[in-house]
Amino acid sequence: MPQKLIRMTTIDGSLDGLLKGQLRFLAKHFEVIGVANDSGRLEKVAQREGIRTIGVPMHREISLWADCKSLWNLIKLFRKERPHIVHVNTPKASLLGMVAAWVCRVPHRIYYVTGLRFETTHGILRFILKTMERITCLCANKVIPEGDGVKATLLRENITRKPMQKILNGNINGIDLQHFDRTEEVMQAAENIRQGSKDFTFIFIGRMVRDKGINELVSAFDRLTEQYSDVKLLLVGKFEDELDPVLPQTKERIENNPKIEFVGYQSDVRPFLAASDVAVLPSYREGFPNVIIQAGAMGLAQIVTDINGCNEVVINGRNGLIIPKQDEQALYNAMLQLVGDRALTSQMTTEARELIASRYDQQDLWQAVLEMYQQLD
């Protein structure tokens, strides 16, 4: 019988989006079980990936009583299933999953470290989040950073001293280059989005929260429209007012500036990328953001902040510009530069897809993950 592998995230949306296709690939070699909080998407994951899924109630926010119940449920689950490998992603699932796997003496406990939440926090919350990371790494017997920047942060902040090595060139799932391409269907949808407009279009894709740099982006673009009338900003994502709200004046600018178009969450971002000229991600922290790999695969120049992941995908001056985080003036200057120098933007666009294809092809990453598992014994 094949060995049992549990892949675990906090919410089923992460299992659905972050690991699409990879679980089906691994199921050829292992008995794969997907574990997450079930909000209604686990069955979809099970059918698409051809695996078994199990719902365990978990919450992204810190809640001592609820977290203890989740931990107990995971311990019972692991004792029943007796997995050979437990591989976790996302903060809460990683902490609870690694502690439960350690209690149950699961032979191989893998923590795949993506974004580090403590980087943008202060005081007691920062201490709590760093302690959670230390416990997670302590219970794991293999810690994998998503990129070199994450590894450097883990070492600098004394989170763990265990040997760490990213998989291939980094990222959690790579990019499906056949899917993220300017096909005829995608380009037709892009034309419908542009509706004949010739505006130079910037696009942001992600959660509409403070930590993603939305306040700086909207303010910088507001200033840009005073210099250029033929520019546009597409905002793709949803607001999360409970966790990390943007400033009230930011929402007002989004509503009142006719050159800003907020389209909400989109299940297929390809047409919106194809309808744009430059992707912008002015985030304060990331692990290894999928959106900039997707934007690069779709042939967009990019503006990103000098943070983990972003500064590994974007090569400053080749496929985009790298700016300091939380620096509205630097963001404005970068946007102004790419609007004003169309030749530079075109040059970056030419290199964008080739750089992504050579480093983040999905099939190569899946094979590297499989080889990592096979070397455990």
366: domain CATH number is 3.40.50.2000
Q: Average pLDDT over the chain, rounded to whole?
A: 95
At residue 250, does pLDDT exceed 80?
yes
- CA distances for 127 relative to 98, 131, 138, 352, angstroms: 19, 6, 16, 39
Q: Residue 355's pLDDT band (boundaries 50, 70, 90)?
A: very high
Shared domain for 135 and 220, answered yes or no, is: no
CA distance readout (Å), 26 to 51, 72, 368: 10, 28, 11
pLDDT classification of 213: cutoffs 50, 70, 90: very high
- Each residue of 27-69: pLDDT tens digit? 999 999 999 999 999 999 999 999 999 999 998 888 889 999 9
Query: Does residue 206 surpass a pLDDT of 90?
Result: yes
- Mean of pLDDT values over 302-327: 95
Q: Is residue 233 part of a domain?
A: yes
Asked if 83 and 6 count as a contact pair (C-beta separation under 8 A), the reply is yes
Decide if 344 is inside a domain: yes
Q: Are residues 52 and 193 in the same domain?
A: no
Burial 27-36 (b: 16+ CB within 10 A, else e): beebbbbbbb
Kindly state whether residues 209 and 158 are assigned to the same domain: no
At position 209, the amino acid (one-letter code) is V
Which residue, among 38, 146, 139, 47, has the nearest Cα to 90 in the 3D structure? 146
CB 276: neighbour CB atoms within 10 A? 27
Q: Are residues 91 and 233 in the same domain?
A: no
User: Which pLDDT belongs to residue 116?
Assistant: 84
User: Based on the domain organization, do 101 and 219 belong to the same domain?
Assistant: no
Same domain, 51 and 148: yes
Asked if the structure places residue 54 within a domain, the reply is yes
Same domain, 210 and 324: yes
| pLDDT at site 289 | 86
pTM: 0.84
49 domain residue, yes or no:
yes
How many Cβ atoms are within 10 Å of 185's Cβ, its own excluded?
Answer: 10
Strand order from edge to edge, sheet including 260-264: 260-264, 231-236, 200-205, 278-281, 301-305, 320-323
Predicted pLDDT at 121: 85
Does 8 map to a domain? yes
| Residues 17 and 49 sit within 8 Å (Cβ to Cβ) | no
Q: Are 332 and 224 in contact (CB under 8 A)?
A: yes
Q: Measured between alpha carbons, how far is residue 37 from residues 54, 60, 139, 268 in Å?
A: 8, 10, 21, 23
Query: Distances in Å between the alpha carbon of 354 and those of 166, 281, 293, 313?
Result: 22, 20, 11, 12
Residue 209 has phi, psi (to 5 degrees) of -135, 165
- Residue 230 pLDDT greater than 90, yes or no: yes
What value does the mean pLDDT take over residues 327-334?
Answer: 98
- Per the domain annotation, does 145 fall within a domain? yes
Q: Which of 62-66, 138-142, 165-169, 249-253 has the least mean pLDDT? A: 62-66
Residue 115 has a pLDDT of 76
Residue 40's pLDDT is what? 94
Instruction: From 15, 7, 17, select the one nearest 207 (Cα to Cα).
Output: 17
Q: Is 74 in the same domain as 145?
A: yes
Statement to judge: residues 270 and 288 lie in one domain? yes
Give yes or no for a contact between 114 and 287, defined as CB atoms under 8 angstroms apart.
yes
- Amino acid identity for residue 261 in this structure: E
% of the chain residues with pLDDT over 70: 100
Largest Cα–Cα separation, the chain: 66
Nearest partner of 218 among 177, 170, 251, 172, judged by Cα: 251
pLDDT range class, residue 163, cuts 50, 70, 90: very high
Q: Is residue 115 one of the residues assigned to a domain?
A: yes
Q: Do both 215 and 350 map to the same domain? A: yes
In a domain, 179, yes or no: no
Q: How many structural domains does the chain have?
A: 2
pLDDT for residue 288: 81
pLDDT in tens, 83-105: 999 999 999 999 999 999 999 99
> What pLDDT is stored for residue 285 in this prediction?
86
| Whether residue 170 sits in one domain with residue 80 | yes
Rounded average pLDDT over 109-123: 89
- Please indicate, yes or no, whether residues 191 and 328 belong to a single structural domain of this protein: yes
Task: Return the pLDDT at 300.
Answer: 97
Which range of residues forms the domain containing residue 35?
4-174+362-374
pLDDT value of position 377: 74
Q: Confidence class of residue 175 from pLDDT cuts 50, 70 and 90?
A: very high
Q: What is the pLDDT of residue 168?
A: 93
Q: How far is CA 330 from the centre of its chain?
A: 24
